[in-house]
Structure 1
Amino acid sequence: MEFQFIDGANIDDSARKQIRSSVMKGRNTGKKRPRREPIRPAKPRVLLPNVAGSNRREQDGHGSSQAQTPVSRILATVGNDLTVVRYPKPLEPQMQRVIRQFMSMASTIIYPKELCLDVQESHSIWFEYFQSDEAFFHCLLAMAQAYTDWAQGGQGESIKVMRYLSETYRCINQKLKLEGTPDDPTVAVVMSMTMHNNLLRAPGGAKVHLNALQRMVELRGGLTSFSGIFLIHKICRTDIEFSLQSGAIPRFYRDKFPYDMVRSSQIWMNASCKAFLTATNAHIYNIDIQSIFRDISCASTYMNSMRGTNQRLEPLMFQEILIAMGYRLMRVCPLDGARNLSPADDACQLALLAMVSTMLLRKGISKLTYPSLAGLFRDSIAKIADDPTADNGFLLWLLFLAGVSIFDVKDDAWLLLRIQNIITSMGLRSLDDTKTVLENYPWITYFHDEPALELWDIATKF
């Protein structure tokens, strides 16, 4: 028997491939090879895991610094938390940019970087709502688009904003039909809608949403039943803003003024005594107003002392100062109630409320209108100006605070004339001389110095 052997030395690559293919036929017939996929851990739902831990700070003798965690180190490398947003629905790159710009702007206004430490927890909460709740998703798109339209000179609500709002209302109505008690994202949406109408100077729409917000908070058992401090602060700020614009009595109340923080400072005793003497010289005798005047004077001195240093205020403490100040002032004498205060007490209360307006939504935002507060404040200033026994320093503070807060000085000749007269009578030759007097009263450099410079230039050239 003769054997035939295949000579593999003289074949090309194509023939060799055909031989191997033929040999393997039959061996793999009917066999299925299971496909193995690598096991990957499920992606976290929250945008920034462990972000709460990344905000712990260590105090030292020269200020405070933020402890670095793996998340915070990554964020520091790529930019910030806004650069890694995961969107629950497809969004065009332009809209993604709008969202990032809006969130960055909102954070800067609420927690001024020059005054406050960075707060990443706030971002993580709103992003969690943004990713998990459809109503909040559409609501945030509406807010962001409205801000962009305003920044570009738009008036009113654009078609895009109306479309997002329509989707927001649809989702809210569906959720309310299913929910026995509104959850945090639902409350946050209604709060945001109220704030949106406040910014649009639409008190009618704001009142409707604030009524709904009040009812939801009541269903939850009041503000104290909420565990999220950031949401509580936003609700209170929205409530105060609406009351300032409309003159209505606030719906809620919160007073957690951080006495432990302010009184622990070395400046407390001197600032407290100075505030008492200043209030007495200005004929401010109402006990409640004196107390508020002292507290905000000490807080202002505390915040001004941090200027030019590495120290920053805890952001939640800043919010508590603002909220306590607003609610306590309105409890003394509501704007739409009877004005049974003395002229000096009346003017001081209104001036401090005007100061609250500069701390709410004003840094980087055009002046909002406060018709009720503005009318009362103008009348109270006139009474002090016409009183020959009134303290000139007190009148100067009233006039400058009015100009940097709720009045458009370019259109208010009465204010500019009174500023000219008081500057002349006191012999003040520069803004620095004027600031020396103003800083005896509640005056926060970050909020008030820049508009005061503009006011000085306009008044001295009027």
Structure 2
Amino acid sequence: MAQAHQHFEFINVSPRAPGKPQTAQRRKIRSHCMRGRNRRNPSVWLPKDDINLDRTVIEPNASLPSHEQEGSQVPTVNNRARVKSPVLSLPSLVDFAVKVDNESLRLLATVFPGTMSAFSLARFRLPSHFRSSQWSDWLLSDKAYVYSILAVCAVIQEFLLAAQRSKHTALCIRTAISQLNERLSSHDTSLSNARVANVIALTLAALVSNDHVAMSIHGNGLRHIVQLRGGLESFRGNPQILVVLSRIDLCVTLSSGLGPLFPQYDPVSVVRDLLKPHPQACLPLSSRRPVIHLLDPRLVPIFLDLQYLAWRINMATNPPYEGIQEYEVHAGIWVAQYRLWQLQGTMSDILGECLRVSMLGFLTTMFSLMNNRIGYDHTNNQLRVLCCAIEVSTQQLRPVMLWVLMVGTLALFDPGEEWLLEKWRSGVLPLIQELQWMEVREYLKDFLWIDSCNDTKGEILFEKLGQLVRAS
């Protein structure tokens, strides 16, 4: 009987029209009558690929959203006035694992889809075997997961709007941590895939909000859970989680400067065993283009493999050429990042170390947070010091510095930084001062450059740097 009373409510009738309910009460009657009839699975209304959806633009002072295409402006710390996310028709009767208020429902409708695609390669339009509705399905079954998603969505919204921490966001984070701790104390739920996704979301929230203490705590917790599960081998058959773990590892390491959360002694073997759905497919092979500026022989094969991967992605847009699968791109990123980390602290020359760090930065340009980059404090400072320490004394070094500064600014730097403009003026301008963008682009493509994610922002950045140098 107690269970039945949960859905029993009194309805107030209008005093002016006896027997007829008031307007607000009529809505409540309809809601109770339709309860359970319009329930939908979130995997239906949360897209797996948001690249072809219309986008809504949420402006800080706008009362109604307008609709426009995704912008191509180069994001910086002070240049995040807009949130771009897919427009969704979110049904109010979806049975989430926990009841959410209107503000939380709006976050799920506008921010969650973009958050899900933060580390994907959707904009490359590549064939994929990684499609999965698990990230939205957990919203139906796992209360702690719902709270962690609300927390990361609230943090991302404030990041994109350059807003201060609100009480609602702080409450979402506290509740998510409380729910997570409660489930970590249970042996039955502490090591589930949903719990891993829980910690991933909170780690991303700390990363986006530049909270290094929280990021370290959640990152260590994530590493501990993976170890207790038996390592990355325990995610065999779920390559999506493996990919997200590797992306979180890349971002946390670049931001903090600490070692990787999941160090790989043989990353090629791990990829072949766990990530690739077709074992007969081979990893990208080295190209034959010589690299005269890499003195350390250990760096050469990594650079050549990345160069070949970028070439294959660029060629995938041309019908005569053989396409590339999404898992091959994920595999290439995975192998490169862990091989580059294995060389950390062992490089014998400054230029080699500069190129190693630049390659790590280049990897981050292949994914973004709703068309905005994440900040990586440690790597930003590290690459700036290396660039300033390199003296561009020969004409052969100018193309190298051009690529390093372009990739560094796409991934890390603010184009208005004085040291950057001075380095551009002295080290790069003598090479390109008479050239147009398409000619400069050919220099960049001699190194590492992916047309679909670097061209538009790169051209805008090139023009911006030229304007700033002329004005200074």
Structure with higher Rg: it is 1
Match of residue 229 from structure 1: 239
Where do 1:194-343 residues align within 5 Å? 194-227=203-236, 228-253=238-263, 255=267, 256=271, 272-274=287-289, 277=290, 279=291, 281-282=292-293, 284-307=294-317, 313-333=324-344, 338=345, 340-343=347-350
Match of residue 17 from structure 1: none
Matches of 1:331 and 1:207 in 2, distance apart?
Answer: 21
Question: Is the 8 Å Cα contact of residues 254 and 376 (structure 2) preserved in structure 1?
Answer: no
Q: Describe the SS at the equivalent of 1:409.
A: coil
Instruction: Give the partner amino acid of 2:336.
Output: M
RMSD: 3.5
The range that moved more, 357-366 or 440-449, is: 357-366
In the superposition, relative to structure 1, how do residues 308 and 272 fare at CA in structure 2: closer, same or farther (>3 Å)?
A: closer
Matches of 1:110 and 1:455 in 2, distance apart?
Answer: 23
Matches of 2:362 and 2:380 in 1, distance apart?
Answer: 12
Match of residue 166 from structure 1: 174
The alpha carbon displacement at 1:354 in A equals 1.4
Matches of 1:420 and 1:88 in 2, distance apart?
Answer: 57
String of CA shifts for 1:140-169, please: whole Å, max 9, x gaps.
Answer: 11122222333333123x211222222222
Q: Describe the SS at the equivalent of 1:110.
A: coil
Question: Is the 8 Å Cα contact of residues 198 and 242 (structure 1) preserved in structure 2?
Answer: yes
Instruction: Give the partner amino acid of 2:351.
Output: A
Matches of 1:83 and 1:123 in 2, distance apart?
Answer: 19
Matches of 1:404 and 1:437 in 2, distance apart?
Answer: 16
Matches of 2:39 and 2:242 in 1, distance apart?
Answer: 26
Where do 1:6-45 residues align within 5 Å? none
The range that moved more, 183-192 or 93-102, is: 93-102
The range that moved more, 298-307 or 255-264, is: 255-264
The range that moved more, 179-188 or 131-140, is: 179-188
Matches of 2:227 and 2:254 in 1, distance apart?
Answer: 22
In the superposition, relative to structure 1, how do residues 365 and 90 fare at CA in structure 2: closer, same or farther (>3 Å)?
A: same
Instruction: Give the partner amino acid of 2:176.
Output: T
In the superposition, relative to structure 1, how do residues 155 and 317 fare at CA in structure 2: closer, same or farther (>3 Å)?
A: farther
Match of residue 11 from structure 1: none
Matches of 1:174 and 1:135 in 2, distance apart?
Answer: 9
Match of residue 437 from structure 2: 431
Question: Is the 8 Å Cα contact of residues 129 and 327 (structure 2) preserved in structure 1?
Answer: no
Match of residue 416 from structure 1: 421
Question: Is the 8 Å Cα contact of residues 136 and 188 (structure 1) preserved in structure 2?
Answer: yes
Q: Kindly tell me the number of residue pairs found equivalent between the two proteins.
A: 380
Which residue of 142, 146, 150 corresponds with 1:133? 142
The range that moved more, 92-101 or 193-202, is: 92-101
Match of residue 97 from structure 2: 88
String of CA shifts for 1:301-343, please: whole Å, max 9, x gaps.
Answer: 111122365987533333222222222111111xxxx454223
| TM-score, length basis structure 1 | 0.72
Q: Describe the SS at the equivalent of 1:126.
A: helix
Which residue of 180, 193, 199 corresponds with 1:190? 199
The alpha carbon displacement at 1:388 in A equals 3.1
Question: Is the 8 Å Cα contact of residues 115 and 312 (structure 1) preserved in structure 2?
Answer: no
Instruction: Give the partner amino acid of 2:418.
Output: A
Match of residue 359 from structure 1: 366
String of CA shifts for 1:31-64, please: whole Å, max 9, x gaps.
Answer: xxxxxxxxxx999997549x9xx99xxxxxxxxx
Question: Greater share of helix residues, 1 or 2?
Answer: 1
The alpha carbon displacement at 1:428 in A equals 4.2
Question: Is the 8 Å Cα contact of residues 45 and 128 (structure 1) preserved in structure 2?
Answer: no
Matches of 2:106 and 2:231 in 1, distance apart?
Answer: 36
Matches of 1:83 and 1:205 in 2, distance apart?
Answer: 31
Match of residue 176 from structure 1: 184
Match of residue 393 from structure 1: 399
Matches of 1:82 and 1:123 in 2, distance apart?
Answer: 20
Matches of 2:125 and 2:361 in 1, distance apart?
Answer: 22
> How many percent identity over aligned positions?
17
Which residue of 145, 152, 156 corresponds with 1:143? 152
Which stretches in structure 1 are left out of the alignment for 5+ residues?
Answer: 1-40, 56-78
Which residue of 337, 347, 369 corresponds with 2:354? 347
Q: Describe the SS at the equivalent of 2:288.
A: helix
The alpha carbon displacement at 1:195 in A equals 1.4
| TM-score, length basis structure 2 | 0.71
In the superposition, relative to structure 1, how do residues 457 and 307 fare at CA in structure 2: closer, same or farther (>3 Å)?
A: same
Question: Is the 8 Å Cα contact of residues 306 and 312 (structure 1) preserved in structure 2?
Answer: yes
Matches of 1:43 and 1:221 in 2, distance apart?
Answer: 41
Matches of 2:151 and 2:112 in 1, distance apart?
Answer: 12
In the superposition, relative to structure 1, how do residues 44 and 425 fare at CA in structure 2: closer, same or farther (>3 Å)?
A: closer
The alpha carbon displacement at 1:131 in A equals 1.1
Matches of 2:402 and 2:366 in 1, distance apart?
Answer: 20
Matches of 2:197 and 2:122 in 1, distance apart?
Answer: 24
Match of residue 69 from structure 1: none
Q: Describe the SS at the equivalent of 1:359.
A: coil
Question: Is the 8 Å Cα contact of residues 416 and 459 (structure 1) preserved in structure 2?
Answer: yes
Q: Describe the SS at the equivalent of 1:178.
A: coil
Matches of 1:134 and 1:389 in 2, distance apart?
Answer: 60
The range that moved more, 120-129 or 342-351, is: 120-129
Where do 1:55-134 residues align within 5 Å? 86-117=95-126, 122=131, 124-134=133-143
In the superposition, relative to structure 1, how do residues 313 and 346 fare at CA in structure 2: closer, same or farther (>3 Å)?
A: same
Question: Is the 8 Å Cα contact of residues 428 and 434 (structure 1) preserved in structure 2?
Answer: no
Matches of 1:80 and 1:369 in 2, distance apart?
Answer: 29
Matches of 1:362 and 1:91 in 2, distance apart?
Answer: 24
Question: Is the 8 Å Cα contact of residues 107 and 153 (structure 2) preserved in structure 1?
Answer: yes
The alpha carbon displacement at 1:119 in A equals 6.2
The alpha carbon displacement at 1:247 in A equals 0.7
In the superposition, relative to structure 1, how do residues 48 and 365 fare at CA in structure 2: closer, same or farther (>3 Å)?
A: closer
